[in-house]
Amino acid sequence: MTPNEEILIEALMRHCFSCPMKDDANIDFEKECVGYRSPGCKECIQKHMEDLR
């Protein structure tokens, strides 16, 4: 993870109240989602960083 990605993910965890990924993101929410702010959430956001753009 780059320093900028780490800063972005930490800011998302602190300031968002739900998953920042859009419903049309390339994520299978039924199978991949661990729950917002749960263990593994940051890794999922990092894995799908392109979907935030």
Mean pLDDT in consecutive groups of 10 residues from the start of the chain, 53 residues: 91 94 89 93 92 83
Quickly list H helices, the chain: 3-15, 29-32, 41-47
Read off the tokens for 29: 């929410």
Cβ atoms within 10 Å, residue 41: 17
pTM beyond 0.85: the answer is no
Looking at residue 24, its pLDDT comes to 87
Task: Give exposure, 6-37, as e/b (b: 16+ Cβ within 10 Å).
Answer: eebbeebeeeeeebbbeeeeebeeeeeeeebe
